[in-house]
Amino acid sequence: MIDLSFEIRRIKMALPGIELDYVNSYVVKSGDEIAIIDDGMYFLDNLRLLMRELKSMNLSVNKIDKVIGTHFHVDHITLTPAINDLASPEFYIGEKDYKIISNDVEKFLSSTLSLYAQNGTPKELVERILKEHPLMRNKRIYEEMRNLDWRKLSDGSEIKVGDIIFKVLEVPGHTPGHVILEANEIAFTGDHILPKITPNIPQYPVEEKSAVTYYINSLVKTMESKVTKGYPGHGDQIDSLPSRINQLLQHHNERLSEVLGLMKKDECVTAFELAQKIKWNLSKPFADMSSTNKFFAIGETISHLYNLEENGKVERKERDNITCWKLISP
């Protein structure tokens, strides 16, 4: 008899220096195979926690067959080189995020920041973000990750873990190459769909269209795939993915209206100026936010402006060589 069941163990990995409580790492065991979905952040306590959890399941790190990263962010995949030191699993990541980690991450961050500078972010803030960004603090780990033998995932790829076959859905938005894994109506959603917080949707210079446009399309695509239950990158299990998707779609519609509402007829305003006026779902006003949260807020403002531009609501102009945005009167 074939046993089609699989076991999922959630591990809450610590996030030192990041303003979130923890990231979820999932151990998936099916048949005689083990996969880790998002191994977490590089930190000795996290590696020890992973080893202890595996031990309690009568497993060990050197038995891991596959490590799958939902996206390239520091909190999700930087434990990978440590796992590579102890075992020889196959490593997987979305192909567009692979492009980012296979290049110099500092250059990637710098080119993202020049887009933000072009959108009015002051030079001092750009420098502070570059200095304090978690990606920079883990630069050495990303250099190690470049040399790992990553297998690239794209839309429709399949990954077999024991008796289950996960279907890969490419869901750009939070990152250009974010992927989710689906099987038996459940999905490991990474940061594409989170239960409590709305995922940050920043504009990356590598993207052709607005990241918000990509994200809205990805949410609709996830809805159409008929998955019900979600295992997210942060927070508890999501019992109804369709209702959470509807909330997220509504959130972005409201934010698009909010941006339009903050713009005055005949006035040309920068994304940085708008980012200071938007009501962010954080306890602090923009001025008191950490440089990393300011980075998120500015990126999210740009991606919404790009979406409004694509839909003929705003147009871009220039003010002292800086991009500013104007309402298009109906």
Q: Which residues bind Zn ion (CB under 5 A)?
A: 73, 191
CB atoms near residue 225 (< 10 Å): 15
Three-state DSSP state, 318: strand
- Please say which residue, 73 or 313, places its beta carbon nearer to Zn ion: 73
Tally the residues of the chain.
330
Instruction: Report the nearest approach of Zn ion to the CB of residue 197 (Å).
Output: 11
CA distance 143 to 285: 35
Instruction: Report the nearest approach of Zn ion to the CB of residue 93 (Å).
Output: 13
- Please say which residue, 109 or 274, places its beta carbon nearer to Zn ion: 109
> Can you read off the two tokens belonging to residue 196?
């409590």
Let me know: does 33 contact 67? Beta carbons within 8 Å: no
- Please say which residue, 135 or 263, places its beta carbon nearer to Zn ion: 135
Query: Which of 54-58's residues contact partners 24+ apart within 8 Å by CB, and which partners?
Result: 54/27, 57/7, 57/9, 57/27, 57/29
Cα-Cα-Cα-Cα dihedral sign, residues 55, 61, 66, 71: positive
Instruction: Report the nearest approach of Zn ion to the CB of residue 42 (Å).
Output: 15
CA distance 277 to 109: 25
Instruction: Report the nearest approach of Zn ion to the CB of residue 215 (Å).
Output: 13
Instruction: Report the nearest approach of Zn ion to the CB of residue 71 (Å).
Output: 6
Instruction: Report the nearest approach of Zn ion to the CB of residue 10 (Å).
Output: 17
Instruction: Report the nearest approach of Zn ion to the CB of residue 318 (Å).
Output: 32
Q: C-alpha dihedral over 105, 108, 110, 115, to 10 degrees?
A: -160
Instruction: Report the nearest approach of Zn ion to the CB of residue 211 (Å).
Output: 13
- Residue 236: name the closest of 183, 185, 197, 293 by CA: 197
Let me know: does 48 contact 58? Beta carbons within 8 Å: no
- Residue 259: name the closest of 201, 206, 307, 304 by CA: 304
- Please say which residue, 71 or 304, places its beta carbon nearer to Zn ion: 71
CA distance 174 to 211: 8
Let me know: does 61 contact 87? Beta carbons within 8 Å: yes
Distance of CA 247 to the CA centre of its chain: 18
> Can you read off the two tokens belonging to residue 160?
């077999």
Instruction: Report the nearest approach of Zn ion to the CB of residue 12 (Å).
Output: 16
Q: Helix 211-224 to helix 241-262 angle, to the nearest 10 degrees?
A: 160
Q: Which run of H or of E encompasses 48?
A: helix 44-56
